[in-house]
Amino acid sequence: MAINGHVTNELGALLRDGFARPRAEEYLSILKEEIEPPKTSEKGTFEDGMFDPDYCAWAHSYGFFAKEAYVYDLDEANKDDYMSDYDYHRVWPLNAWQRIWINDKLTLKYMMQGSSLDAYLPDYYYYSTPQGPLPLYGSGARPGDKAFLDTLRAVGEFACKPCNGSRTVGFHKLAWHDGDYFIDNRPSSADGVMSFLHANPNFVFTEFLHPSAQMAKISPVINNLRIMVFNPSGVEPVIGASYFRIAMDAGTDDSKSNYRYPANGDCGNYNVWFDWKTGRFGRGTILYANRVVDAPRSPDTGVLAEGVLEGWQEVCDMVLEMSERLNPLEYLGYDVCISDKGPKVIEINSHSGSKYLQYFQPFYKDDFLRGYFRDKVEAIEAMDEDQIRRRNALVR
């Protein structure tokens, strides 16, 4: 809700402005963390002094998180080029109830089974339940702890992650190599592996992916190509934004994820521009919470992160075809790994974070993106009180 051009930051005002309650609470919690960093947090904390108080307050007054404002180099001259965090949280959910199809990794896998698109998802072997490992349909795996270990030995590696997690939280690697078990590349035992499984219910255990030869030169850790697809009509999906995320500070440890929550001054992410129209990529940049550092070469390997992505047209065709199959969903954030077995969709996000996308493509500087998002904001602003109350009550 604007007051003299500035937004209000009180829960009641956000709800009256059309926020779903969980998104309003999340938005306010981030503002609070930036102003008064807590002492401890499971997801990390912002360090005291990371953000200039005056700049932080100015960014907040226009609905931007400080951690985004620093990355955009936001000021009075360019602030209208970017969709604010206020409005981006307010328009959630852009998808109808069918968003549950992609919010859960196991459901997404089953949505693609029986189609040619299933080849673009990793092989899925097991799902962990409180009762033990459940072999997944089509995997050929058998039930029981012993069968789980047998399958691990047969395939060599599992990627393990929460079925409906986010931000790579909970990602792990299980492996069998030369007669030994490993958890996150550290020696373990059969009992250790089974203890891990039973301690982590609601995990999926899938094929572990390695980067293609082209991408492995830049980083030995699997990459992530984020591609945003828009399909408001249900029959004409289009790509609207994209970027590469490549591991940083992982070295050769492929059990590390390619994303780190930027909670302190030394924690950043290595992102690379990608043009889905030509397949070109480059302009590598390390994005911290409070600064941007140009890095055309990978911080880990020193290799220039620049070129034309091999097989880029197949990637684009694949996400568009998959979006047609999922056509009740109009806003899909694909996480595609360029692997040595071709492109693989790790997950599809129903409401991807906008920070890194807007760093390379400010939403309001692009005609299509500006029209799409402003239409969504205006539709909320035109709602009556009953419609607003229904939006407030949305929970997932």
Q: What is the 3-state secondary structure (H, E, C) of 289-358?
A: CCCEEECCECCCCCCECCEECCCHHHHHHHHHHHHHHCCCCCEEEEEEEEEECEEEEEEEECCCCCHHHH
* Mean pLDDT across 264-287: 92
**For all residues of the chain together, what is the average pLDDT?**
92
pLDDT of residue 41: 46
Helix axes 312-325, 105-112, angle to 10 degrees: 90
End-to-end Cα spacing for the chain: 23
Q: 11-41 pLDDT, tens per residue?
A: 999 999 999 999 999 999 999 999 987 654 4
How far is the C-alpha of 262 from the C-alpha of 249, rounded, in Å? Answer: 13
Q: Provide the pLDDT for residue 168.
A: 63
- What pTM, to 2 d.p., does this model score? 0.93
Percent of the chain with pLDDT over 90: 85
Residue 237: CB partners within 8 Å, gap ≥ 6?
229, 230, 231, 319, 320, 323, 324, 327
Is pLDDT at 42 greater than 80 in this prediction?
no
Mean pLDDT, residues 302-331 taken together: 97
Distance between CA atoms of residues 29 and 35, nearest Å: 10
CA dihedral 198, 204, 210, 211 (to 10 degrees): -140
**Helix, strand, coil in percent for the chain, rounding step 5:** 35, 25, 40
More confident residue, 150 or 49: 150
Confidence at residue 1, expressed as pLDDT on a 0 to 100 scale: 45
Q: Hey, what are 22's tokens?
A: 């969980």
pLDDT at 251: 78
- pLDDT score, position 189: 97
